[in-house]
Amino acid sequence: MSLFEGMKGNQYEIKGLYVEEGITRRLQALGLNDGTVITVLNRKKNGALIIRVRGTRLAIGKHISQGIEVEESKE
């Protein structure tokens, strides 16, 4: 499933990044790598997501969140 489909308050493990190469490199530099556990903190009406990654809050737009493949975390 894509991160965009994730529900507020749930934890997800990243399985793959499927966006433009430049965006992929930037997300990896911010700590969004395969296997990283993230938490969806909030969903905005315009489709943006607020997530927590390794103790840092990030806002991600709809286009990017649709390109991040995740599965529910077992932690």
What per-residue confidence (pLDDT) applies to 75?
66
Contact 32, 68 (CB under 8 A): yes
> pTM of the full predicted structure?
0.90
What per-residue confidence (pLDDT) applies to 19?
94
CA distances from 32 to 45, 51, 53 (A): 23, 11, 7
What per-residue confidence (pLDDT) applies to 41?
96
Domains of the chain as residue ranges with CATH: 3-72 (2.30.30.90)
What per-residue confidence (pLDDT) applies to 74?
79
Please list the pLDDT of the chain residue by residue as tens digits (75 residues). 999 999 999 999 999 999 999 999 999 999 999 999 999 999 998 889 999 999 999 999 999 999 999 999 876
